[in-house]
Amino acid sequence: MTGLLLVGGKGTRLRPLTYTRPKALVPLVNRPLLWYLLELLRRHGVGQAVLAVAHEHEQIEAYVASGGKGMGVTCVREEEALGTAGAIKNAAEQLGATFFVLNGDQVMDLDLGAMLEAHRKKGAVVTIAVRRVADPSQYGLVRREPDGRVLEFLEKQEQPPPDASEINAGAYVMERAVLEEIPAGEVWSSEYDLFPRLLRSGAPVYAYAQQGEWAWFDVGSAERYLAATRQLLEGRTSFELPESQAPRGWELRAPAVVDGSAEIGPDAEIGPYAVVGPGCRVGAGAKVFEAAVWEGAQVGAKAVVRGAVVGCGARIGADVTVGEGTVLSDLSRIEAWKDD
């Protein structure tokens, strides 16, 4: 079985962090976002991952070439981004008779095995994982029969119709036959073009609604990124957290993860809901909470970082307060202003 991961988007809503890296490589609790999807595939016995790359493809290719993924991973590149369906068509040679397709910017505890079984039982050509969220307007909406048969797919509606309370969770099982519906070499969207076309032609498209509570979150914006960090730290997913350094002369307020190679000064406070990446330096008496500090960043003595994302190698001077909602690009620098 093969899992195709769509990782070629521009990640515009996560700028400035995605000026220098693709969204799939954004570190989330000290692991690239892509790690969580590969781990999900691996766990469900999917032996082969295909990454549909476009924007910033070199970095993803280098990540794959660095090995250690515990499964076969290949990249298929689009010269020009072909959209969410065009990317699938472009990877056709790597795909078998039935395959998974996952959006590459989310973390989820979806039971791929159960979804595949449901897909086969229904004889579907496409099965779409669906779930409920508080605000469905930012997602694809699915209207369906009680038995799962999809009636309508509506991408991003400001006023969602009342009978379309489930959203597209960005995970599909597909039959190879659907590739014939996608024109080769053209920009084509699954959400706007492929699904509506299949539904118009009466093709069996089904929704799969996993029973019970299951973790699912996308990492579309900085706000959602920090919410995702929080959920992972709280242990609300099945993904194990990476090892954290034990405090020596500084305070760790759980939940928090501090990479073993970070240097933390005396009396600093890390957490709750904080992540400190490899090679970071946090000065004496500094406070970092509800925040993610990425690899190689520095936080000066007595500085406060709260509710912020600090890009790789950024430097925050002593005594500076970086407040809620701040997103600092890689290598940026902030110093406290001192009048002489």
Residue ranges binding Mg ion (CB under 5 A): 105, 218, 220
Which one of the spans 64-72, 98-106, 286-294, 300-308 is the region binding ligand GDD (CB under 6 A)? 98-106
Amino acid at 322: V
Least distance CB 167 / Mg ion (angstroms):
12
Q: Which of 10, 69, 122, 156 is catalytic?
A: 156
The residues, ordered by sequence, that sit 6+ positions from 93 with a Cβ below 8 Å of its Cβ are: 76
Q: What span, in angstroms and rounded, lies between the C-alpha atoms of 288 and 59? A: 29
Least distance CB 33 / ligand GDD (angstroms):
9
Restricted to residues 43-62, the positions that interact with ligand GDD (CB under 6 A) are: 52, 54
Amino acid at 299: V
Which one of the spans 66-74, 166-174, 222-230, 330-338 is the region binding ligand GDD (CB under 6 A)? 166-174
Counts for the chain of helices (H) and strands (E), in that order: 6, 28
Any catalytic annotation for residue 338? no
- Which of 152, 148, 142 has the alpha carbon at shortest distance from 197? 152
- Give the single-character DSSP code of 166: E
7 touching ligand GDD, by CB under 6 A: yes
Least distance CB 10 / Mg ion (angstroms):
11
Of 6, 258, 280, 305, the residue at the interface with ligand GDD (CB under 6 A) is: 6
- Give the single-character DSSP code of 230: H
Query: What is the per-residue binding string for ligand GDD in 14-33, x denoting contact by CB under 6 A?
Result: ---------x----------
Least distance CB 15 / ligand GDD (angstroms):
13
Instruction: Report the residue number, 103 or 237, with the smaller CB distance to ligand GDD.
Output: 103
- Taking a C-beta distance cutoff of 8 angstroms, is the pair 213, 191 a contact? no
Beta strands (DSSP E) in 48-139 are 48-53, 72-77, 98-103, 106-108, 126-132
Amino acid at 235: G
Q: What are phi and psi of 309, to 5 degrees?
A: -115, 125
Of 3, 8, 27, 300, the residue at the interface with ligand GDD (CB under 6 A) is: 8
User: Token pair of 213, please?
Assistant: 């509570």
Least distance CB 292 / ligand GDD (angstroms):
20
88 touching ligand GDD, by CB under 6 A: no
Q: Give burial (CB, 10 Å; 0-12/13-18/19+) of 122.
A: middle
- Which of 256, 285, 283 has the alpha carbon at shortest distance from 272? 256
Rounded to 10 degrees, the C-alpha dihedral 200/202/203/206 comes to: 90
Of 170, 255, 271, 296, the residue at the interface with ligand GDD (CB under 6 A) is: 170
Of 26, 50, 60, 87, the residue at the interface with ligand GDD (CB under 6 A) is: 87
Restricted to residues 180-209, the positions that interact with ligand GDD (CB under 6 A) are: 191
Least distance CB 299 / ligand GDD (angstroms):
30
- Taking a C-beta distance cutoff of 8 angstroms, is the pair 257, 272 a contact? no
267 touching ligand GDD, by CB under 6 A: no
Q: For binding to ligand GDD (CB under 6 A), which residues are involved?
A: 6-9, 23, 52, 54, 78, 81-84, 87, 103-106, 139-140, 155, 167-168, 170, 191, 218, 220
Provide the annotated active-site residues. Answer: 156
